[in-house]
Amino acid sequence: MKIASFNRSTSFSRRSLGTTSPRVTRLSWISRIFHVLVVMVSLISFTIAIGCGYIYVLPSLSQAFYGDGTSKFNDSFRSCNVFDGSWVPNDSYPLYNATECPFVEQGFDCLGNGRTDKDYLRWRWKPKTSDIPRFNVRSTLEKLRSKRVVFVGDSMSRTQWESLICLLMTGVEDKKSVSEVNGNKITKRIRFLGVRFSSFNFTIEFFRSVFLVEQGSMPRHAPKRVKSTLKLDKLDNISNHWVNSDVLIFNTGQWWVPGKLFESGCYFQVGNSLKLGMPISTAFKTAIDTWASWVQKNINTNRTHVFFRTFEPSHWSDQTRRFCNVTQHPLSEARGRDRSLFSDTVLEVVKNMTVPVTVLDITSMSALRSDAHVGNWSDIPLTPDCSHWCLPGVPDMWNEIVLSYLLSNYDEWTDMDLLTPVLC
């Protein structure tokens, strides 16, 4: 069971161990190794005592210690579950001011829309057996230089895209050097948005593809109620734009509901045949299988780090989604929202894939955050929203987790002189 801890002592500071990533010159390299050795030795008993420690070693050093490199450090970040933990209060949050970030759409700027309680802004995710490295905007901007980060999915992906841009903009002095490549404004149905950080030569892009698979017009000879179909065996026809990226982050789920499908005349199709009676769960699995084959066939995972973010729980008070009671603090238990068939399907499919894909299994951590939704502080005040999240807020933490994977566990992204956090 996950507990949102209100006890500050549980989140004891690890500042003394250092959470930054200092650049080390070659001259000081040797002494750095020595220093790290000393730190390591002094930490080993500590590590054993608490079962799972938090130490920093050079990648080469871990090889020296464990021989062939297929040690327990090989995939340490993944082997310890960062998604099992609790929310702890932290006054260094929030990390940016949404009103000052031109890429937060008004609907997500809760403070700007009149929310007055602020506790919801000050929670940090604390994995049980590790710690997410402190967000360092300068080193992140440098790491992303000349790269292409692509988000694909529904409005939850758009929120995460906005969050990442705002996190990164806090480190950019000339805010005008950051702009949408086509000069477009953020709107709910736009297919593509790309924000370029020109001083760093990288883009953070968003492709709206709410089902990931292709939605087509009504097939011939179909019953009258069929207005469109989802072609479960074909990825979205804009998918060719997702290929040459360095980071590729998918999501889908919110649209796989009767209201957005059957009740709007959208039915499933596989090949040339309509699947009128196919349950949504089966269709979803088929679509995710299609996505998995597409990734295996089209993505060079030597270059592209692929992520799939799992389902984002909502916190409506009733089935009809009319009542939304945003709380002031996180829940202490998820009350069943910590599991989702969609998330389980993604986890299962990815397990079978032949190329590396990281599942951002954020469902249960987000399930506790009934305090972090837009509620009635959106741009349409009379329509409460217990699905989307305020910015700053929970999507920032999703991004911090993405960045921790990229910056600590991905060889091509890691200079020899960068200290690599070893988390378990």
Ligand X SMILES: *[C@@H]1O[C@H](CO)[C@@H](O)[C@H](O)[C@H]1NC(C)=O
By C-beta, is 156 or 210 nearer to ligand X? 210
The yes or no reply on residue 155 touching ligand X (CB under 6 A) is no
The one among 99, 187, 264, 296 contacting ligand X by CB under 6 A: 99
Segment contacting ligand X by CB under 6 A, of 96-104, 267-275, 336-344, 403-411: 96-104
DSSP state of 120: G
The yes or no reply on residue 117 touching ligand X (CB under 6 A) is no
SS3 state at 18 = coil
The one among 25, 272, 302, 320 contacting ligand X by CB under 6 A: 302
Number of residues counted as binding ligand X (CB under 6 A) = 34
Tokens 């809760």, residue located: 110
Q: How far apart are CA 210 and CA 250, in angstroms?
A: 10
The one among 9, 25, 182, 352 contacting ligand X by CB under 6 A: 352
- Interior CA angle at 51 toward 50 and 57, to 5°? 95
Q: How far apart are CA 211 and CA 199, in angstroms?
A: 34
By C-beta, is 28 or 298 nearer to ligand X? 298
Site string for ligand X, 219-258 (x = CB under 6 A): ------------------x---------------------
Q: How far apart are CA 300 and CA 283, in angstroms?
A: 27
The yes or no reply on residue 327 touching ligand X (CB under 6 A) is yes
The one among 300, 319, 320, 354 contacting ligand X by CB under 6 A: 300
Burial of 392 (0-12, 13-18, 19+ CB in 10 A): buried
By C-beta, is 58 or 110 nearer to ligand X? 110
Q: How far apart are CA 138 and CA 140, in angstroms?
A: 5
The yes or no reply on residue 170 touching ligand X (CB under 6 A) is no
The yes or no reply on residue 124 touching ligand X (CB under 6 A) is yes
For the CB of residue 241, give the shortest distance to ligand X in the complex, in Å.
Answer: 10
Q: How far apart are CA 142 and CA 23, in angstroms?
A: 12
- The H or E element that residue 1 is part of is none
By C-beta, is 33 or 274 nearer to ligand X? 274
By C-beta, is 134 or 275 nearer to ligand X? 134
The one among 15, 185, 188, 297 contacting ligand X by CB under 6 A: 15
Q: Which long-range contacts (CB under 8 A, 24 or more apart) does 10-15 make?
A: 10/86, 10/88, 10/126, 11/88, 11/89, 11/90, 11/124, 11/126, 14/54, 14/131
The yes or no reply on residue 9 touching ligand X (CB under 6 A) is no
The yes or no reply on residue 88 touching ligand X (CB under 6 A) is yes
DSSP labels, 138-179? HHHHHHTTT-EEEEEESHHHHHHHHHHHHHHHTT-S-GGGEE
The yes or no reply on residue 319 touching ligand X (CB under 6 A) is no
Burial of 7 (0-12, 13-18, 19+ CB in 10 A): exposed
The one among 47, 63, 81, 90 contacting ligand X by CB under 6 A: 90
The yes or no reply on residue 297 touching ligand X (CB under 6 A) is no
DSSP labels, 52-96? S--EEE-HHHHHHHHSSS-STTTTHHHHS-TTSEEEEE-TT---S
Instruction: Determine the distance from the C-alpha atom of residue 240 to the mean position of all C-alpha atoms in its chain, rounded to a whole number.
Output: 22
Q: How far apart are CA 79 and CA 62, in angstroms?
A: 16
By C-beta, is 31 or 117 nearer to ligand X? 117
For the CB of residue 31, give the shortest distance to ligand X in the complex, in Å.
Answer: 25
Segment contacting ligand X by CB under 6 A, of 12-20, 54-62, 149-157, 275-283: 12-20
Report yes or no: 125 and 397 within 8 Å, Cβ to Cβ.
Answer: yes
Segment contacting ligand X by CB under 6 A, of 70-78, 165-173, 402-410, 416-424: 70-78
Residues that bind ligand X (CB under 6 A): 11, 13-15, 19, 70, 72, 74-75, 88, 90, 92, 97, 99-100, 111, 124, 134-135, 146, 148, 201, 215, 237, 300, 302, 317, 325, 327, 348-349, 352, 376, 381
